[in-house]
């Protein structure tokens, strides 16, 4: 019980770019990646505090294009999962 | 203060302002990927440069000469597209080394042209910090001015120049707008940048903050999002329409280079026949005439016939690349590539390998992950390059009728697509094996910037084609010419009683018959054997060789063309075996050389050569034996 409870909270609490659907917008809070990889992402505009909008994706939903800091960058799901966002506001728009 | 290393280059700068008139100035061109740096370079030099919307295609350093109005000459060094100067990747390392004069092969630049995308200024300005800290005279070029204007962006260049302590020029390299400012900078006394407080260079958030601040001081108003790019992407990346379009593009490219280009090729062929006859008539019968007509003219001509086709292929790749579609294709391909352990960025080198493995292998430098890169290098030669193409065309045309299937596809096109697929499948299987064994790698994030769609310019496409034809003709004029002449000599010794031997008894024939036992199981005779030997220099040489051999074998019959000669010597099964041999074998000295250079040793190229040869032999063997059951 306790274990599953823990698992649930850890899955729900830190939202990431993966949770965004097309058109959703969020503010980046943290990059949970090795320094070198994080630096690449930051150079492309994925800085903590940056506004990110989810865009089109490749067929199958992976990778997805994100609009960030004036450009559009495609990121794989496995990477998007490491880009944490603030959970303020709605995550998905009403359809 | 933060980076002493970055200032190492400013020591001798005091001598710079008045360089002696005799020596040419070297000026570096640098900028982030997609800043239009290469377009500017083309505009200034008119020399060939690869222009692409794809991040990081400009990996090789290219230099060019810009001639200024007063006759002065400036050498421009086009550096790889980089986001920063911290030497973490190979590209950044090269850029950093050139700018600080640490490379022996390149002169230390006396000035820098920093090219930035004016439609994405705040982020691109981040690169200005490390560049300005080098202390070299720098012109900051804000490119894509037309885009900025059309999309309602504005900025005050004078305020920006003041803010940065260096001159700023707002240009559109595509339209040629504002280029005089760049030429004026190159011609004039280039002033050192004024000291400004720059951010700590390795701290990306600080750099971005600084860039944003500078931008706002210059009243920068970012343009609205590119409407057309968004609209097009809705179709191009649509879950159903996207892959469909992808397939359509691939089919359209292949169908046109196989079918629609035939009249042009017939024209070139006709030219060579007529001029060959003319040479034959105007010279007295002699050994020299035989060498010229049967050796050189027939041999080289049979390869040059394929120039129109090769150029058309490069034209298509160029259009896809320059328009921005290629980045979308990489995005669509990424998931599939990931399944084989590769990534979307491998798609570009692999697609280029359809033209030629040599530039493809060089372009793998954009792949930051070493192991992904090695895997891509190792599988690139499986892609059906332009040199295999004429061989396939010849054999297919000799053995398959030009019948229509489904009303629009010819049987030959289908066979050709099949061969292309065969190479691709083998590449993918090889990648899979490599990536799950010796080249297994941890996951580095796959990041791909999507450039805005743009019309490809005639200039950049033209320069690219010009360059490609030079490469192709140079090969025909050197490697292939040499092999043809050597072959002609081998076919004419030993000379007895003033007569050349029958081709069978000549040195070439003896060589062919020596290896015949080895290739007999594949259904090849000694003539094909000679062709195979020469094809290891370059694949398409086999056509020249066979053309020469059959020409000498039946000197009297003009009607004995290559196709009917092949039909006599090869069973259909052996023809399939020959196709498969060519699909798998690494018959190209240039590729072996470039793999050695790019992997830094003989280990990989030798392993690759052995692997591909074994596969070719095994595949051909299987094919000829299985064919009996068909």
Domain locations in chain A as residue ranges: 14-85
Mean pLDDT of A34-61: 91
Interface of A with B in 22-41 (CB under 8 A): 33, 36-37, 39-41
> pLDDT tens digits, residue range B366-401?
676 778 889 999 999 999 987 898 899 889 989 988
Interface of A with B in 53-82 (CB under 8 A): 55-60, 62-63, 65, 67, 69-76, 78-79
> pLDDT tens digits, residue range B113-134?
999 999 999 899 999 999 999 9
Q: How far is CA B230 from CA B52, B450, B539, in A?
A: 19, 11, 43
Spell out a b/e string for B575-611, using b for 16 or more CB atoms within 10 Å of the CB, else e. Answer: bbbbbbbbbbbbbbebbbebbbebbeeeebbeebbee
- Say if the Cβ atoms of A67 and B242 lie within 8 Å: no
User: B434 and B375 in contact (C-beta within 8 Å)?
Assistant: yes
Mean pLDDT of B88-110: 82
Closest CB from A44, A56, A60 relative to B447:
A44
d(CA A93, CA A24): 7
Return the percentage of chain B with pLDDT > 90, whole number: 34
Q: Which domains are present in chain B?
A: 5-224 (3.40.50.300)
- Lowest mean pLDDT, pick from A29-33, B277-281, B473-477: B473-477
The interface pTM score, or ipTM, of the predicted complex is: 0.81
- Say if the Cβ atoms of A48 and B205 lie within 8 Å: yes
In CATH, which of 2.30.30.90, 3.40.50.2000, 3.40.640.10, 3.30.1490.70 is domain A14-85? 2.30.30.90
Angle at the Cα of B518 from the Cα atoms of B517 and B523, rounded to 5 degrees: 80
- Say if the Cβ atoms of A41 and B239 lie within 8 Å: no
pLDDT at B5 over 70: no
Question: What 3-state class would DSSP assign to B116?
Answer: strand
For residues B348, B353, B358, B362, the Cα torsion angle rounded to the nearest 10 degrees is: 10
How deeply is B550 buried, as exposed, middle or buried, from its count of CB atoms within 10 A (0-12, 13-18, 19+)? buried
Return phi, psi of residue B590, to 5°: -60, -40
| pTM as predicted | 0.76
pLDDT at B298 over 70: yes
d(CA B75, CA B44): 10
How deeply is B378 buried, as exposed, middle or buried, from its count of CB atoms within 10 A (0-12, 13-18, 19+)? buried
For testing contact with chain B, the best of A32, A45, A53, A78 (most B CBs within 10 A): A45
Closest residue of chain B to A22, computed from CA coordinates? B234
pLDDT at B53 over 70: no
Return the percentage of chain B with pLDDT > 70, whole number: 90
- Say if the Cβ atoms of B208 and A72 lie within 8 Å: no
Beta bridge partner(s), residue B142: B116, B170
d(CA B447, CA B372): 14
Q: Which residues contact B313 (CB under 8 A, 6 or more apart)?
A: B253, B257, B354, B355, B386, B389
- Say if the Cβ atoms of B222 and A70 lie within 8 Å: yes
d(CA B491, CA B501): 8
> pLDDT tens digits, residue range B150-188?
999 999 999 999 999 999 999 999 889 999 999 999 988
Closest residue of chain B to A81, computed from CA coordinates? B445
Residue by residue, DSSP assigns B388-431 as: HHHHHHHHHHHHS---EETTTEEHHHHHHHHHHHHHHHHHHHHH
User: A71 and B123 in contact (C-beta within 8 Å)?
Assistant: yes
Residues of B with CB under 8 A from a CB of A: 83-84, 86, 88, 119-120, 122-123, 126, 204-205, 208, 222, 225, 233-234, 237, 239-240, 242-243, 331-332, 334-335, 338, 344, 368, 443-450
Contacts of B334 in chain A (CB under 8 A): 58, 62-63, 74, 76
Question: What 3-state class would DSSP assign to B580?
Answer: helix
User: Is the bond preceding residue B508 a cis peptide, omega within 30 degrees?
Assistant: no
How deeply is B71 buried, as exposed, middle or buried, from its count of CB atoms within 10 A (0-12, 13-18, 19+)? exposed
Closest CB from A47, A70, A79 relative to B204:
A47
**Beta-carbon count within 10 A of B417 CB:** 17
């Amino acid at each position: 019980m306790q274990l599953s409870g823990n698992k649930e909270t850890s899955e729900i609490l830190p939202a990431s770019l993966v949770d965004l659907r097309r058109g959703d917008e969020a503010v980046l809070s943290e990059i949970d990646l090795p320094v070198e990889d994080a630096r690449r992402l930051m150079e492309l505009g994925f800085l903590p505090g940056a506004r990110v909008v989810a865009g089109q994706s490749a067929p199958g939903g992976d990778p997805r294009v994100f609009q960030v800091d004036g450009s559009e960058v495609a990121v794989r799901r496995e990477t998007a999962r490491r880009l944490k966002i603030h959970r303020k506001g709605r995550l998905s728009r009403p359809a | 203060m933060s980076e002493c290393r970055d200032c190492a280059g400013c020591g001798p700068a005091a001598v710079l302002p008045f360089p002696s008139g005799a020596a040419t100035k070297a000026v570096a061109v640098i900028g982030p990927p997609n800043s239009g740096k290469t377009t500017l370079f083309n505009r200034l030099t008119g020399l060939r440069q690869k222009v692409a919307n794809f991040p990081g295609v400009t990996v090789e350093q290219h230099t060019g000469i810009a001639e200024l109005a007063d006759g002065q000459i400036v050498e421009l060094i086009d550096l790889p597209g980089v986001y920063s100067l911290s030497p973490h990747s190979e590209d950044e390392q090269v850029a950093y080394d050139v700018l600080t004069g640490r490379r022996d092969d390149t002169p230390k630049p006396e000035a820098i042209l920093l090219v930035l995308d004016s439609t994405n200024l705040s982020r691109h300005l981040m690169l200005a910090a490390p560049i300005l800290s080098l202390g070299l005279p720098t012109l900051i070029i804000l490119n894509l001015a037309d885009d900025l204007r059309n999309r309602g962006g504005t900025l005050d260049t004078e305020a920006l120049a003041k803010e940065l302590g260096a001159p700023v020029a707002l240009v559109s390299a595509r339209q040629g707008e504002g280029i005089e400012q760049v030429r004026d900078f190159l011609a004039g006394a280039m002033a050192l940048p004024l000291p400004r407080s720059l951010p700590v260079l390795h701290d990306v958030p600080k750099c971005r903050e600084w860039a944003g601040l500078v931008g706002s001081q210059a009243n920068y108003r970012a343009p609205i999002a590119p409407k057309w790019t968004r609209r097009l992407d809705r179709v191009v990346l649509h879950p159903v329409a996207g892959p469909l379009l992808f397939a359509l593009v691939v089919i359209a490219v292949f169908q046109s280079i196989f079918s629609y280009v035939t009249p042009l090729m017939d024209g070139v062929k006709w030219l060579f026949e007529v001029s060959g006859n003319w040479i034959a008539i105007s010279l007295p019968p002699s050994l020299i005439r035989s060498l010229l007509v049967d050796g050189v003219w027939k041999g080289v001509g049979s390869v040059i016939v394929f120039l129109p086709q090769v150029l058309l292929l490069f034209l298509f790749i160029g259009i896809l690349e320059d328009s921005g579609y290629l980045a979308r294709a990489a995005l669509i391909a990424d998931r599939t590539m990931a399944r084989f352990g590769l990534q979307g960025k491998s798609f570009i080198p692999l697609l280029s390998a359809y033209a030629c493995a040599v530039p493809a292998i060089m372009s793998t430098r954009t792949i930051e992950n070493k192991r992904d890169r090695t895997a891509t290098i190792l599988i690139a030669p499986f892609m059906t390059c332009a040199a295999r193409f004429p061989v396939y065309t010849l054999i297919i045309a000799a053995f398959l009728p030009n019948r229509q299937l489904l009303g629009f596809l010819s049987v030959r096109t289908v066979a050709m697509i099949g061969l292309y697929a065969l190479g691709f499948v083998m590449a993918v299987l090889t990648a899979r094996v490599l990536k799950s064994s010796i080249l297994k790698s941890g996951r580095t994030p796959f990041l791909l910037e999507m450039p805005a769609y743009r019309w490809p310019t005639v200039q950049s496409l033209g320069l690219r084609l010009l360059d490609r034809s030079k490469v192709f003709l140079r090969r025909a004029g050197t490697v292939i010419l040499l092999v043809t002449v050597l072959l002609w000599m081998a076919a004419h010794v030993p000379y007895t009683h003033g007569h050349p031997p029958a081709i069978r008894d000549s040195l070439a024939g003896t060589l062919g018959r020596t290896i015949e036992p080895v290739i007999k199981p594949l259904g090849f005779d000694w003539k094909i054997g000679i062709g195979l030997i020469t094809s290891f220099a370059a694949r398409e040489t086999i056509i020249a060789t066979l053309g020469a051999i059959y020409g000498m074998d039946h000197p009297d019959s003009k009607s004995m063309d290559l196709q009917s000669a092949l039909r006599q010597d090869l069973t259909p099964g052996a023809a399939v075996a020959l196709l498969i041999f060519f699909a798998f074998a690494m018959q190209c000295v240039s590729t072996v050389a470039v793999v050695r250079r790019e992997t830094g040793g003989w280990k990989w190229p030798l392993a690759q050569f052995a692997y591909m040869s074994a596969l070719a032999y095994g595949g051909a063997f299987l094919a000829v034996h299985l064919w009996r059951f068909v």
